[in-house]
Structure 1
Amino acid sequence: HIALGALASSAPILYFDDITPQNGYYTIVTKDFKEASTSCYKTIRKSWSEIDKVASKHNGLSILSKRFKTCEHLNYSYELKNYLNNIYARAAQYNDPPTYPVTVVCGGIDGASEGTDILGRIFAGVVAYRGNRTCYDTNAYKYPTETSVGWSWQTCSEMVIPIGRGINDTMFPPAPFNLKSFIKECKSFYGVPPRPHWVTTYYGGHDIKLILHRFASNIIFSNGLRDPYSSGGVLEDISDTVLAIHTVNGSHCLDILPAKQSDPQWLVQQRQIEVEIIQGWITKYNADLLAFKVFKQ
């Protein structure tokens, strides 16, 4: 009896093997920004072609390097675009109260002085999110941490999550998931080839909800709908003991972060509901254990 139950916070268990559309993650990032500010969303959407336009000019990369105050000279326009992509994705994924980073980014973009062009507004969003710095390291999100290395290893070795984007389906430029490139990258980093079909093979097929209904119990799947990973999450109860709890304004793993006095009431209530469910499991377990002991006597 190692475990009686589980709280699976922000677990995208339906994002494997094309069960969820590839663009699910970035669709929610886009939705978060659009709901925060339509003008901010439109500016971001227009900015990618503007970056390409400037980059194609003579000394275009030098111009972009200066305008975005990059710590190192840009060698390719995609270095800047990847950096901005990471800012927007992280702001949406960890759009936690009370600061709400998406609102912070959009506040910078929308709050730029009148007459500021698109790239100037985008840079104002970077400053609002990252703070006022002497320069901005476009490699900031590439440096390994224990969490990033662990998660990268897990997605390479077991849990291949095919996140991608099509044409005009998000506020980002198209970037479909490329399995061949992903395999090459994983082999380079860890020496292991990814197994994109492992989850659905090991756990018995693509209909993971049906499998959970038949064989699982005592699981809470909690999701915040502002978390891009919720696109691959369980959002409805599967059975009386496999339950789904979601909050409209929640972000990634917010319910398992330490409680704060500034926590909104909906978050406090979510945690209370989860605790009550877990207490119910423990109460039932102890009652069953007592009944079993009495039966044996």
Structure 2
Amino acid sequence: MSLPYTILILFIFSTSSSYLIPLAHSKIARLGISSKTLKNEPDGSTQKVDESNLKMYYFNQTLDHFTFTPESYMTFQQRYAIDSTHWGGAKANAPILAFLGEESSLDSDLAAIGFLRDNGPRLNALLVYIEHRYYGETMPFGSAEEALKNASTLGYLNAAQALADYAAILLHVKEKYSTNHSPIIVIGGSYGGMLAAWFRLKYPHIALGALASSAPLLYFEDTRPKFGYYYIVTKVFKEASERCYNTIRNSWIEIDRVAGKPNGLSILSKQFKTCAPLNGSFDIKDFLDTIYAEAVQYNRGPNFWVAKVCNAINANPPNRRYNLLDRIFAGVVALVGNRTCYDTKMFAQPTNNNIAWRWQSCSEIVMPVGYDKQDTMFPTAPFNMTSYIDGCKSYHGVTPRPHWITTYFGIQVYMINQISFRNTFKLNLHSSLYLLSLVLIITRLYDPCFTRVEYLIIGYKIFFGIFLEFLDFLCVLLEFFLHHQIVVRIFLGLYHQV
């Protein structure tokens, strides 16, 4: 399978001072390095993680890094893990690779990521994995019940606090191992990739560089893409199979038509084998929409998820005549598996992780995702900021700050022409390659979280002649698709030249 990639260079010249809200027209598949819902997904990772080399620790973390009120001095236990098996030691200034946790528990992250395990031994690196506050076992206020109960306790859950947590732990690790001169490369995927890039911006004295996979750094109100999340979902399905695309496109009207019949919701419930009666056609449409989004967002081999869904939708089984909704249901079974019944709310269960992420998406990680008119596989329903804010206020009692991320992290956006390359390499992480002040970001061109047609350069200064000087360097960067360790070697090479 040939995948087009776009390679571009982004520079940030940093100085040394330095469960989703279920609202109509404002939904996005959860970020994350792997699907948290489809545990038995087709072609899912079956790699067994050897934890014998991992040592778990708990760091006495400060609740509030940015105020000096009595409550801010409260602490909680933050979980992190270290693998020192292949570390070259402090005397050799051997590197430290630090995985910055995202909206998931450390346990599931360890099972999903392989970059550190693959490259640590080759680089003689110390491997550090840090769990994000309010996820997994890292719960302030003593328990998840207390930490997640209301806006007063959830108020300490934000990106700035998480970055400060990581800074404190990494400095603690360097002190623990007496390795003041070992360079640190921070690594993350999706939301964790955003954190890795932001960490390099805010803490350049701690992290030499960062690698961010599929980090939607520009998907905010101030940098809203012209073609959004569901445009990419549509594009991927259409290129996979025009027939499949048309079937899905026509299914929404058919669902509404059946729902409008006497006992229509019961008919739909039976058709899709739902575990509970449907309250309206929206229930099944929202479920299907998430199925398609998950298939694209976590599309991976050896049998790519979108291809599996479309093959099932397009199939012509012997001795049976499929109607349109039969085909749609076959696509669901192909991705989710054969079950006795299907929970239409399976992607929005009130787990601790979903509750915490819902707070983040209702406070500062406000991504304007809707169904725009060019997203032709879906009925048009643009993102509505007013209804989004009203929904968040109703649920949490607080108003989202849609401009805060771009304000706090100081992103300035400029336009740049794209340089396109075609290749046949396949990436595990749902992830065009760009570099910003020793931050390397990887993302598939068809990643719905990164959707700019007019690719962007971030930074305080732009060097328009940079491409001629860096053509040879770009060729070297292409090797990244074959040898991931080149990323770290680039950073370490620059470090040793200082």
**TM-score interval (norm. to shorter):** 0.7 to 0.9
Partner SS, residue 6 of structure 1: strand
- CA deviation vs aligned residue, 1:56-81 (integer Å, no higher than 9, x gap): 11111111011111111111000000
Question: Could you say if the C-alpha distance between residues 128 and 12 of structure 1 is closer, same or farther in structure 2, counting changes exceeding 3 Å?
Answer: same
Correspondences of 1:93-112 after superposition (within 5 Å): 93-112=297-316
Task: State the partner residue of 1:270.
Answer: 481
2:291 to 66, 87, 93: 87
- Measured against aligned partners, the alpha-carbon deviations of 1:247-268 in whole angstroms (never above 9, x if no partner) come to xxxxxxxxxxxxxxxxxxxx99
Alignment of 1:1-297 (within 5 A): 1-21=205-225, 23-113=227-317, 115-145=321-351, 147-167=353-373, 169-204=375-410, 207=413, 217-232=437-452, 269-270=480-481, 272=483, 274-288=484-498
Segments of 5+ residues of structure 2 without an aligned counterpart are 1-204, 417-435, 471-477
Within 1, Cα distance between the matches of 2:369 and 2:226? 5
- Per the alignment, residue 264 of structure 1 pairs with none
Other structure's SS at 2:450 match:
helix
TM-score, normalised with respect to structure 1: 0.77
Post-superposition CA distance 1:185-204 (Å, at most 9, x none): 32344443211122333344
For residues 174-216 of structure 1, what are the alpha-carbon distances to aligned partners after superposition, in whole Å with 9 as ceiling and x for unaligned? Answer: 2211212222332344443211122333344652679xxxxx6
Distance change (3 Å), C-alpha of 1:236 and 1:193: closer
What is the identity, as a one-letter code, of the residue corresponding to 1:47? Answer: S
Alignment deviations for residues 100-156 of structure 1 (CA, whole Å, 9 cap, x no partner): 111111111111436311111111111111111111110100114455444433322
Q: Is the 8 A contact 2:219 2:367 kept in 1?
A: yes
- Pick closer, same or farther for the CA change 1:124–1:112 going to 2, 3 Å: farther
8 A contact 1:108–1:128 mirrored in 2: yes
Change in Cα spacing, 1:83 to 1:209, as seen in structure 2 (3 Å) is: same
Displacement of 1:234 in angstroms is: 9.5
Preserved contact between residue 221 and residue 367 of structure 2 (Cα < 8 Å) = yes
Distance across 1 between alignment mates of 2:222 and 2:262: 42
Cα separation, 2, equivalents of 1:76 and 1:59:
11
Distance, in Å, in 1 between the alignment partners of 2:482 and 2:359 is 30
Superposed CA RMSD in Å reads 2.9
| C-alpha separation in 1, matches of 2:408 and 2:415 | 14
8 A Cα contact 1:52 1:77, kept in partner:
yes
Greater fraction helix: 1
For residues 232 and 298 of structure 2, what CA distance do their matches in structure 1 show?
12
Quote the Cα distance in structure 1 between the aligned partners of 2:456 and 2:298.
Answer: 23
Report the residue type matching 2:495 in the other structure.
Answer: Y
Query: Are the equivalent residues in 2 in contact too, given 1:79–1:138 (CA < 8 A)?
Result: yes
In structure 2, give the amino acid aligned to 1:125.
G
Alpha-carbon offset, residue 83 of structure 1: 0.3
Q: Distance in 1 between matches of 2:269 and 2:387?
A: 28
Percent pairwise identity: 51
Q: Separation in 2 of the partners of 1:100 and 1:189?
A: 37
CA contact (8 A) 1:44 1:122 kept: yes
